[in-house]
Structure 1
């Protein structure tokens, strides 16, 4: 009887641990390379216009603006680089503050792929800020993949809003 109860408990624990929808990948070190690879599981959409960064996200509570990415990419565009320059200027003027950089994706692709892509996006933003002179020790990154969308709709406009690196002041 005891072996059966232990077996059921272990099985329940394994099922519960394997079904978490709130998974995240966290990194505090810089990763090398920020190129993206195409995934055969992802379709090729039209490229919508990129939203602006500052204050865009409903969770934005401070002067650090979000940066947005193209579909299936962790490459910084011109607008993203400009927003990161503004963020680095604020961080340079507020040296006692740090930032958590959250990598987010739209809902297309597998959960595992999107967690990895979100991590690359956060790492790319972090690496760019370090190149602009922000100390790496003041920056932390985490990937939420598709788990925390800004806009839950399933269209080009919503997907563009969700492909971002979001900044939280620490």
Structure 2
């Protein structure tokens, strides 16, 4: 039993180190590196989305009313990135708190990309984005059995268009709640 506790502690510590490593910024090699900083600055404003929280039960409805961050179910990412941006950590912390308090709730994290890149690359990038959100929630105490991930790559754009405005809305992970 003692060994199991140490293994869990080690796993949480390892995940924390991975998340800390993912938070560091690295350089990009593409030609848009000079404009990426400007794009990220313009995207730092968190965009509230319509709620996807299923409020069929009284507890879920009360939780959604008590914490408006639960209304935000979209996490945006930078170009060709799968690291969490700091402005979305409070949102994910609120969802983690909700999931810990409601073990009957389950969540599918859907990874999405913009239209640039190959289909295969975008599916892999969408998966990395969804897995990043999942790992963050697990580190916050959410049971892995409550979480699933799926990648849609570029197949389900939130906004149609071939410009930075549309692309920035399509680089995302969506949180989709289901009841068990």
- Listed as ranges, the gaps of 5+ residues in structure 1 are 1-31
Q: What is the TM-score normalised by the length of structure 2?
A: 0.66
> RMSD between aligned alpha carbons?
2.6
Match of 1:156 in 2: 164
TM-score (norm 1): 0.69
Contact 1:69 1:164 in 2 (8 A): yes
Distance 1:54 1:130, change over 3 A: farther
In terms of fraction of residues, the more helix-rich structure is: 2
* Aligned residue pair count: 135
Instruction: Pick 1 or 2: higher relative contact order, CA cutoff 8 A, min separation 6.
Output: 1
The structure that has the greater radius of gyration is 1
Question: CA offsets, 1:83-140, max 9 Å, x none?
Answer: 2111112212322111000000011111110000000000000000000000011000
* Distance in 2 separating the partners of 1:55 and 1:128: 20
Contact 1:118 1:145 in 2 (8 A): yes
Match of 2:52 in 1: 61
What residue is the counterpart of 2:138 in the other structure? Answer: 130
Which segments of structure 1 move beyond 4 Å, counting only runs of 4 or more? 32-35, 37-40
Structure 1 residues 104 and 134, CA gap change in structure 2 (3 angstroms): same
The 2-side partners of 1:68 and 1:116 are apart by: 16
